[in-house]
Structure 1
Amino acid sequence: MAQIIDNSDAIEPIFKKLQETFRTHKTKDVNFRKAQLRNLLKGLEEMEQELHQALQEDLGVTLFSSQMTSTIITKTDVENQLAHIDKWSKEESVDTPFVIGPGTSKIIYEPLGVVLVIAAWNYPLYTGIPPMAAAIAAGNCVILKPSELAPHSSQVMYKLVDKYLDKSCYAVIQGGVEVSKKITTFAFDLIIFTGSPEKGKLVARAASENLVPCILELGGKSPTIVDKDCSLNVTAQRIIQGRFTNAGQTCVACDYVFVHESIKDAFINEMKIEIKKFFGENPQNSPDYSRIVTTFHTQRLEKLLQNHDGQIVLGGQVKVNEKYVEPTIILEPNQNSQIMTEEIFGPILPVFTFNDIGKVITFINSRPKPLALYYYGNNSKNKKLLEQQTSSGAIVHNDSVFHLLNPNLPFGGVGNSGYGAYHGIAGFKGCSHAKPVFNKSTLNIYPFNIRYPPFTKHKLQTLSLFFKFAELPQRHVVNATLFISFLVAMKIASKKGYLKRFLEISKPYVDKLWNSANL
């Protein structure tokens, strides 16, 4: 097994070096950022086999699985940042209210500084490189801290960054618990953390000592609702994929299911059929079924299966030494058991029944806010109720997990499942400071000088009138003024005969142009 050295003394010199680099403004150059993203893509392509081998050794995933859930989607995320960086990094002009004009206003998206990315062990590549790419695209220096629970992936990611990116701007710091504890005490300009709510609280607490902002991508128990009008076959396939991919070690996995009472038996039967199709008679022998990351976590899942007061209708077998937990479905476990109060993070799926969607909503709202909520069915009223009356990081209809692959949707939690977001433009903006710039004209005549003392009743009345139209954009006032001025000028010109004379003089030229156009 790969060994990760837990040396917290390595943090400070690397952190200081990146701070010094950032102060040179090297990473603010958009062309430099683009070159680094291209290098990162090159590395992901050239090291794909090494990355897959590391993921296989850490998590037991197949080549197809590592491509679908790690390497391909990671490259796609980096490519998205590269494709839009020119547009996203441009200054953004905004309206100036007439009441504070005349002037111009704009927003500059500037990098924050040195960003720390702490990746998770369940998808080490996908939780490490995409947020790092967003920070690079935004112009930051970056330190990536992979999880020591995925040591092979950690070492390959170190090699990737060391070989393909500028060492003065970007670094990987490996390490265990001591490194993880110490690194969050440094005055980074942003921390992006992916992990459990418990660890997220520790990161936020440490970061608060230096007022470091955080983007926390946490987990929680993502509810899944199966309505009576769903497509049973499709629903079973997508829930199985969403729950049992990576042996259930996915932060947005379907954590428990509420299935309509009228289709409970059909749903359970369909789940059994599809699980057998996915992983065969014995999932332990399936090349497409992953293993639990450590013996400790396997033992934790074994304990959950021993204390739930429900009915195991499928699976239940655990082999601790082989880090294997069979795909398991439990019917009606005790709602106060650990399996229903803690994030499972394994291949175990509790199932409950319902008749009233309102009671399901009440149950969901009585628990911490989840990272995702899944609804299977076509009842538009129930869809709308869930969208309006529940709160979650995301809500997905008739699919599980795959909403993460849309770069146009922000990925993030709410409440106990985290705060802040990344992916696409959300990642770029999350790693930037939207700096407002207001450029005021030196024009200082009435009525723009009523802000100065001595204050009079007339000034107050004028100021009050201005604030009644505080939201009126300055450009509308300017356009209206120009239009009125034009009308006044035309009226004067007509009255003095200038307009008539102008039309007489210009008529031959207009006729000539008209005839030429007709030819």
Structure 2
Amino acid sequence: MSELTFTPIDDIPKIVKELRETFLTGLTRPLAYRKEQLKGLHNLIAENEALFKESVYRDLRKPPQELMVGEIGTIRQEAIDAIKHLDQWAAPQYVKTTLLNRMNKPHIRKSPLGTVLIIGAWNLPINLLLAPAVGAIAAGNCVILKPSEVSTHTAALLTTLLPKYLDPRSVRIINGAAAETTVLLEQKFDHMFYTGSGNIGKIIMAAAAKQLTPVTLELGGKSPAFVSKNVDIAVAARRLAWGKLFNTGQACIAPDYLIVERGIEQELVKEMKLAIQEFYGASPQTSQSYGRIINNNHFHRLKRLLDTTRGEIVVGGDSQEDDLYIAPTIVLDVKLDDPLMESEIFGPILPIWVVDTINEGIEYVNRNDQPLALYVYSHDMKLANHILDNTRSGGAVINDSLVQFMVTALPFGGTGPSGIGSYHGKRSFDIFSHERATLVKNLGMQKALAISYPPYTEKKTSWLEWLLFDKVKYPDNAILKGNKKFG
């Protein structure tokens, strides 16, 4: 497997310019061309699963089942769905309107944006790069892909394989770190799509603002999980353990901390400990189902959190630097000023905050940034709906974790500091398309249209009003007068 080589900085503007020129030739517009590229993307994954298993294992020690569920299986399905539905997605959408404009065939044309940039992330190095690429290609764009340089082996493999499956005239990869990315962000794009941390998201958005480039930002945040007394604790514990420890906790929608009603915390810890033993055995470090932290920087960041927490480490807590191993860890009785509650953990450490009432947890969530995900574990649907009705988050799941990411018919994205915009399925096509409002007027009927032109008269105005605007009738046939006073 080849090593990752950064793209020469002087080549970056040339590559972007070449793709912009390609787009202007119309190469990517025909639906047949787009479908061929989508087939290539599908086959890129399908024909090289063994190589991707090796590369992602070298980067993250990711188990094959997690790779299939969270990455390669999802990409293949996204590509298949796009091929199946592209004709429908790209078809003009006719709209209903009032009598006069009905004759003008008002409709929405789906136009490609142009040349777009997609910047992936290291924790799901295939999915978070190629899932948005499915939408960008389906929409008829030229695409620059920037893999994370942190997941070096997967980025190198993608760089080698991509030109064999996708037309390099319309899809290219650019590799690099801060210096290369800085130059890349100086180029003109028609859309930027970024997945990663909020701090880098601000840099992406600032660079895009200089050229009024629209952005989609898929960020993260501290995603809470509420656990009420009215719950099957054993089931909740298993699902929470799986959701937290999938990809060794290195997932933007992993439960970041638990808000647990007082009285069930000890039993919940007991059941989670049993679930962890069931999943990974007595020694998770030797389990083939448990991955590793991506690099030394992230290992030391997580180790500092463990060393400085004032909560009680009741499960795990051990680590080994030369193996980039941090054990599945649960920390009980965490206070709100604990370092574990300051920022997104992004690792296999789960703090538990015990509350007297669920409303106490709701108030805390609302005082902080909106998370990318929010989870509720309870048999009481009235309580679950109360939590969802009184909080904000990018997505939400009742009685499970992570599974929303795998339902591509649902929008995936954040709100506020956890992101801008959403994608997956048709929404990926939509964000890389422009909805071009279009009318088709007949050159005849000029006499009928004379009522639109000066000189204006009361009679013309009356006819125009009748033809252009709906008449609203209220139940009592009265026109509403004034505004209701509040307060």
Partner of 1:424: 425
Q: Tell me the secondary structure at the aligned position of residue 353 of structure 2.
A: strand
Partner of 1:155: 156
Partner of 2:392: 391
Output the CA distance in 2 between the equivalents of 1:255 and 1:62: 22
Output the CA distance in 1 between the equivalents of 2:472 and 2:149: 53
Judged with a 3 Å threshold, the aligned counterparts in structure 2 of structure 1 residues 323 and 361 are, in CA distance, closer, same or farther, namely same
Q: Tell me the secondary structure at the aligned position of residue 226 of structure 2.
A: strand
Output the CA distance in 2 between the equivalents of 1:468 and 1:136: 40
Matched-pair contact (CA < 8 Å) for 2:7–2:174: no
Output the CA distance in 2 between the equivalents of 1:470 and 1:142: 47
Output the CA distance in 2 between the equivalents of 1:110 and 1:228: 51
Partner of 1:510: none
Partner of 2:331: 330
Shift in Å, 1:332: 2.5
Partner of 2:242: 241
Output the CA distance in 2 between the equivalents of 1:122 and 1:239: 19
Output the CA distance in 1 between the equivalents of 2:97 and 2:29: 27
Partner of 2:210: 209
Partner of 2:147: 146
Q: What one-letter code is carried by the residue in structure 2 that aligns with 1:97?
A: T
Q: Does 418-427 or 91-100 show the bigger shift?
A: 91-100
Output the CA distance in 2 between the equivalents of 1:347 and 1:143: 33
1:113 aligns with 2:122: no
Residue by residue over 1:393-421, the C-alpha shift from the partner in whole angstroms, topping out at 9 and shown as x without a partner, is 11111111111111210111110010111
Output the CA distance in 1 between the equivalents of 2:170 and 2:7: 23
Q: Tell me the secondary structure at the aligned position of residue 451 of structure 2.
A: coil
Shift in Å, 1:338: 3.1
Matched-pair contact (CA < 8 Å) for 2:98–2:468: no
Partner of 1:194: 195
Shift in Å, 1:14: 1.1
Partner of 2:445: 443
1:134 aligns with 2:130: no
Q: Does 147-156 or 276-285 show the bigger shift?
A: 276-285
Matched-pair contact (CA < 8 Å) for 2:101–2:468: no
**Runs of 5+ consecutive residues of structure 2 not aligned to the other structure:** 474-487
Q: What one-letter code is carried by the residue in structure 2 that aligns with 1:269?
A: K
Residue by residue over 1:10-54, the C-alpha shift from the partner in whole angstroms, topping out at 9 and shown as x without a partner, is 211111111111111111100111111112212211111111100
Output the CA distance in 2 between the equivalents of 1:428 and 1:176: 28
Output the CA distance in 2 between the equivalents of 1:468 and 1:50: 61
Matched-pair contact (CA < 8 Å) for 2:6–2:175: yes
Output the CA distance in 2 between the equivalents of 1:283 and 1:316: 12
Output the CA distance in 2 between the equivalents of 1:338 and 1:198: 18
How many residues matched?
A: 471
Partner of 1:360: 361
Matched-pair contact (CA < 8 Å) for 1:117–1:192: yes
Residue by residue over 1:62-89, the C-alpha shift from the partner in whole angstroms, topping out at 9 and shown as x without a partner, is 2222222222122112111112111111
Matched-pair contact (CA < 8 Å) for 1:4–1:151: no
Output the CA distance in 1 between the equivalents of 2:6 and 2:426: 36
Partner of 1:15: 16
Q: What one-letter code is carried by the residue in structure 1 that aligns with 2:296?
A: T
Matched-pair contact (CA < 8 Å) for 1:58–1:152: yes
Judged with a 3 Å threshold, the aligned counterparts in structure 2 of structure 1 residues 181 and 338 are, in CA distance, closer, same or farther, namely farther
Output the CA distance in 1 between the equivalents of 2:40 and 2:99: 47
Shift in Å, 1:59: 0.4
- Normalized per residue, which structure has more helix? 1
What root-mean-square deviation, in Å, do the aligned CA atoms of Structure 1 and Structure 2 show?
Answer: 1.8
Q: Does 462-471 or 234-243 show the bigger shift?
A: 462-471
Output the CA distance in 1 between the equivalents of 2:301 and 2:471: 60
The percent identity for this pair of structures is: 36
Q: Does 131-140 or 98-107 show the bigger shift?
A: 98-107
Partner of 1:299: 300
Partner of 2:478: none
Matched-pair contact (CA < 8 Å) for 1:7–1:178: no
Output the CA distance in 2 between the equivalents of 1:391 and 1:55: 34
Matched-pair contact (CA < 8 Å) for 1:314–1:329: yes
Matched-pair contact (CA < 8 Å) for 1:95–1:104: no
Output the CA distance in 1 between the equivalents of 2:458 and 2:256: 66
Residue by residue over 1:295-336, the C-alpha shift from the partner in whole angstroms, topping out at 9 and shown as x without a partner, is 011001111112232111111112222211111111132313
Matched-pair contact (CA < 8 Å) for 2:198–2:418: yes
Residue by residue over 1:418-470, the C-alpha shift from the partner in whole angstroms, topping out at 9 and shown as x without a partner, is 01111101101011001110123442445x54332223344444445556517
**Runs of 5+ consecutive residues of structure 1 not aligned to the other structure:** 473-519
Partner of 1:254: 255
Residue by residue over 1:201-232, the C-alpha shift from the partner in whole angstroms, topping out at 9 and shown as x without a partner, is 11111111111111111011111011222222
Output the CA distance in 2 between the equivalents of 1:244 and 1:337: 21
Compute the TM-score of the two structures, normalised by the length of structure 1: 0.87
Q: What one-letter code is carried by the residue in structure 2 that aligns with 1:280?
A: G
Shift in Å, 1:93: 1.0
Structure index of larger Rg? 1
Partner of 1:79: 80
Q: Tell me the secondary structure at the aligned position of residue 127 of structure 2.
A: coil
Output the CA distance in 1 between the equivalents of 2:312 and 2:158: 43
Output the CA distance in 2 between the equivalents of 1:44 and 1:471: 55
Q: Tell me the secondary structure at the aligned position of residue 224 of structure 2.
A: strand
Q: Does 308-317 or 206-215 show the bigger shift?
A: 308-317
Partner of 2:344: 343
Q: Does 34-43 or 118-127 show the bigger shift?
A: 34-43
Output the CA distance in 2 between the equivalents of 1:331 and 1:219: 23
Matched-pair contact (CA < 8 Å) for 2:335–2:353: no
Matched-pair contact (CA < 8 Å) for 1:283–1:326: yes
Partner of 2:483: none
Q: Which runs of 4+ in 1 moved over 6 A?
A: none
